[in-house]
A and B are shown apart, each in its own frame.
Chain A
């Protein structure tokens, strides 16, 4: 499945002057967004998507891949320096990173974070690169029943493992599917839920909904809480000892490899996310390393484990996103939105018709890790100053960028209103613990689920068609297990604790 010609052509696009400039810009923007708590690589991509309108899909993926890939390292900077993770996946980095800063070893922690992030990102993407051909063959065995089951498997996993309780996740996913039914029926062209509004004929556009649910929801939360982003007490930030962090990471290369493996596997499971990857790897490091009494008090191995895993998980998350169109995380959901925007279908098609886009995503994320490491190591101390920016200054600007971005998509002012409405919905969902990703996934995959379901009924033996094909049956059992098992586990754990 590996196509050397396509790979070299894609690599050349990245390595010309324009490509390098785009890679550099994407990386710097991603690092800045990652370093500002409350913002993230997802927000960076949301802001950058309108900029990609005039680009071809391959170049667009270069910019977005670089911004997204670099954000996780950016998020480690405030985690280490001011005890505030820039992004949720950096939460485990705080455990040892901030105590290291308190002990005057912030430079060592930043150096270790930069190196571990780079190595973790590399390992995650290389593993993905090796597995994509295998997975692509597996995807070819999929037909309508399997795609239908896969849609619901992704939704159930995200409902189980995403934000909020399982019930709220399932309700959000169901509501998302219901919203995906607005507009023309994909098979009979019958209008549904349009209420005479012409704008709704084409359905609810995913990108404005995404902008609203994820970005505006966060912006509103930042303004409502009005917390100062960084409360830098004490003297100026020190960046000394960066290279000792690099050496410490290289000395612990086996730990980096193990934690990157954990990150890649967890990343490939839709809905689990980098936060879980970071904490599991941290616990793994604490349990397996010798002389572990300093974990939690400023052990560099805690930073290495967490950072290697949360960067490696992006490689893993690309697998279900590209192969099945099921995003493993909010970032991957935005990627999927961007791919759709550029007219690229995931699943079987992407490995046949758009292999260059797949390669560009992988190499841009690899490239941005190198650039991020160079920038991170040389500017580690100065980057922390970004966290001093007050949310009142950038939050309204971000809100406006989201509105312009959604308008620029189709030059439709209706999209601007949809963005605001989904922003309000996203804020309330966030506040009351409903999974926004589940709603996006429902909205994104509802169409595919409907077509697959009805085509299965037409081509296979009615409803039995979902259960007579082995992969479809296995997926059905996995859906049941993913929904029922957490309830049984919680019940048993509770009984055990009571005893």
Chain B
């Protein structure tokens, strides 16, 4: 099992365990489902974590399941770099929308993403950013009358 997968399962386990601990402070009936589903998930995730450190347990478990318990999606070094950059870009876009609103965030993100990340031409990046902004404005603000978020800094 790859380190990345071990980290993911461990983080998931920690979140579940934390939720189980919190569920003890809820009264009677309110704690039944969180406790039951939390303990159930935690048990499976613990088994997966334990399994991730032992090839013997994996091979034993694979006797009972035809599908590989190891993830098959292997990324190259370049893909890993892209993965991190996409996460950063998407998080940045969400933050931009949160602070400055959709009408600034959308064209800014799209133009910068296409120009800097995708290395598209100035013209294509600009035209696409403007077209998408126009379509969003027309569809949501003009037709559907949805008041788009203005951004917490500008509203």
Report A's interface with B, CB cutoff 8 A: 50-51, 53-54, 164-168, 170-171, 174-175, 177-178, 181, 185, 187-188, 190, 192-193, 216, 220, 223-226, 392-393, 396-397, 399-400, 403-404, 407-408, 411, 413, 416-417, 420, 423-424, 428, 430-433, 442, 446, 449-450, 453-454, 486-488, 490-491, 493-494
Contacts and interface: CB of A to CB of B under 8 A. Distances in A.
Contacts of A453: 32-33
Given A404-B136, A442-B37, A490-B63, 7 more contacts: A51-B144, A171-B45, A188-B27, A192-B23, A224-B75, A226-B79, A423-B90
A397 B128 CA distance: 9
Contacts of B120: 392-393
6 contacts: A165-B67, A166-B67, A171-B44, A225-B79, A416-B97, A490-B66
B136 A431 contact: no
Contacts of B44: 167, 170-171, 174
Contacts of A168: 48, 69
B71 A433 contact: yes
B97 to A, nearest CB: 6
Interface residues of B, number: 68
Contacts, number: 182
A185 B23 CA distance: 12
A430 B120 CA distance: 28
Contacts of B148: 404, 407
A190 B26 contact: yes
Contacts of A454: 29, 32
B22 interface: yes
B113 A181 contact: no
B114 A392 contact: yes
Given A404-B102, A411-B146, A420-B90, A431 B64 contact: no
A486 B65 contact: yes
B19 interface: yes
Given A393-B128, A433-B72, A171 B48 contact: yes
Contacts of B126: none
A392 B91 contact: no
